[in-house]
Structure 1
Amino acid sequence: MEPTPPAEERILRAALQRFAVDGLSAPLRAVAQDAGVSAGLIIHHYGSCERLLEACDRQALEVTHENKLDAFTGGSGVMLAQLAETERYAPVVGYVLRRLQAGGPLAQQLVADFVVDATDYFEQGVHAGLISPSRDPVARARVLTEMALGALLLQLPAQRDHLDLADLPTWLRSYTDSLMLPMLELFTTPLLQDSSLLDAYRTAAASGDHTPTTTEGNTS
């Protein structure tokens, strides 16, 4: 018989599931009931509901970081779909969707953390010969992450009050199946037939007609 996890771990697991199912406004007493603890014990370990949400953010980022290789060809949306197919990850994926749905500073920070992670694993892909180098790796990672998560958010089944975690993997798989072909085509076959627009943009930027917002680490 497996030992009972520590209270702090039980609380975090229960919080991820409860927030995924009912949204981030789910009451602490519901989390406490799910975890088999008192609401006071949650406050003892995490201090407040916001601190508990921050712990959930860290857990979600850790899980996606551990599975970052799955995003090489599909981006964040595909990675979340693959994670959700593993039953124990469905609450994490549901939580990420709820966090994006809620918006606000913590959602912005979570997306920023995804971008940092994406920059890292795209760079690994470049070194492995799987991904083409970028003139601005951070900007590319940010655009691809925001595109993937934004597209996912538009189709989010959690627009309703209650999210069925049992149905989540099926929905995500159907969603990613519908976009896999056009996405891979876009990534492997250039949308534009030549580089004239890019060349014109870079020429204008160099002449001072337009100053693009860039990040450190650009290459020419």
Structure 2
Amino acid sequence: MFSKQPVPQGPAADLTTTARIRDTAIEVFGEYGFQVGVRKIAAAAGVSPGLVNHHFGSKDGLRAACDERVLQLIRNEKIKAITASSVSSGMLNALAEIEVYAPMVAYMVRSLQAGGPMAESLVDHMAADAEGYLEQGVAAGVIKPSRDPAARARYLTMLNVGATLLFMQIRQNPGEPIDFRTAIRELTEELTPPALEFYTQGLLTDPTILDTFTKEK
């Protein structure tokens, strides 16, 4: 069940036992949620439950490693798209291969649905990463500077993550698993055109509202 789509790997992919358990856990958590036990993850990875605990200490330790891996992959892909020689071609290449991100999206959705400190930490780290790669885009001349880079990054993170979570939630049929590969393609095709219009053309014709609001604060 867990070979439908591997978690994306970098050019120097780590194929150690630790990495295999972690990547398998991302897929298992994404498919079943965080109520799943270590035994199920171990079986999917072809190892013993004791070996999982040996490498990660506990289920929470494994989840923390999964968070770190998902954040790393998101960060790498965002930076690659934003700093490509042609930002449009970088984004189009990412969109063409969007299904490969299904395990990461599934994991992120399950984490946010679970809530709690680890979900909050994941969002905080995503926002901090977003600030970093947006600033790289500013330095590359493909993104406009911001009056408050941290606030902009957090807003965009909340906007994109919230839209993804809502999209998946309203397409969830009771008692049936979500086909994240299909869902992420449908989400991308539905929201990318208006999102690109919003990001490239803006929304308001009168910019003075921002100046007024900022001064009043």
The structure having more radius of gyration, on CA atoms, is: 1
Pair 143,94 (structure 1): closer, same or farther in 2 beyond 3 Å: same
Deviation at 1:120, TM superposition (A): 1.1
**Aligned partners of 2:27 and 2:103 also within 8 Å:** yes
Structure 2 portions without partners, runs of 5+:
1-14
1:59 aligns with 2:106: no
1:130 aligns with 2:142: yes
Partners of 2:23 and 2:175 in 1: CA distance:
20
Q: Could you say which residue in structure 2 is the equivalent of 1:43?
A: 53
Normalising by structure 2, we get a TM-score of 0.79
Matches within 5 A, 1:133-172: 133-156=145-168, 159=172, 163-164=177-178, 167-172=179-184
Q: Secondary structure at the match of 2:62?
A: helix
Deviation at 1:83, TM superposition (A): 6.2
**Aligned partners of 1:122 and 1:141 also within 8 Å:** yes
Deviation at 1:70, TM superposition (A): 5.8
Deviations 1:48-101 (A, max 9, x none): 111110010011011111111366489xxx999766523xx4323321221122
**Aligned partners of 1:23 and 1:162 also within 8 Å:** no
Q: Root-mean-square deviation (CA), in Å?
A: 2.6
**Aligned partners of 1:67 and 1:79 also within 8 Å:** no
Partners of 1:83 and 1:107 in 2: CA distance:
26
1:85 aligns with 2:95: no
Deviations 1:135-162 (A, max 9, x none): 0011001001110000110011585566
Q: Could you say which residue in structure 1 is the equivalent of 2:126?
A: 114
1 or 2 for the larger relative contact order (CA 8 Å, sep ≥6)? 1
Partners of 2:81 and 2:35 in 1: CA distance:
30
Q: Which letter does structure 2 place at the counterpart of 1:179?
A: L
Q: Secondary structure at the match of 2:142?
A: coil
**Aligned partners of 1:85 and 1:169 also within 8 Å:** yes
Partners of 1:79 and 1:111 in 2: CA distance:
25
Partners of 2:20 and 2:181 in 1: CA distance:
23
Matches within 5 A, 1:95-106: 95-106=107-118
Q: Which letter does structure 2 place at the counterpart of 1:119?
A: E
1:202 aligns with 2:214: yes
Percentage identity across aligned positions? 41
**Aligned partners of 1:125 and 1:131 also within 8 Å:** yes
1:177 aligns with 2:196: no
Partners of 2:55 and 2:77 in 1: CA distance:
28
What is the aligned length? 194
Matches within 5 A, 1:24-35: 24-35=34-45
Q: Secondary structure at the match of 1:155?
A: helix
Partners of 1:83 and 1:115 in 2: CA distance:
23
Deviations 1:137-194 (A, max 9, x none): 1100100111000011001158556645xx4222212112111222122112231111
Normalising by structure 1, we get a TM-score of 0.78
1:20 aligns with 2:30: yes
Partners of 2:168 and 2:20 in 1: CA distance:
27
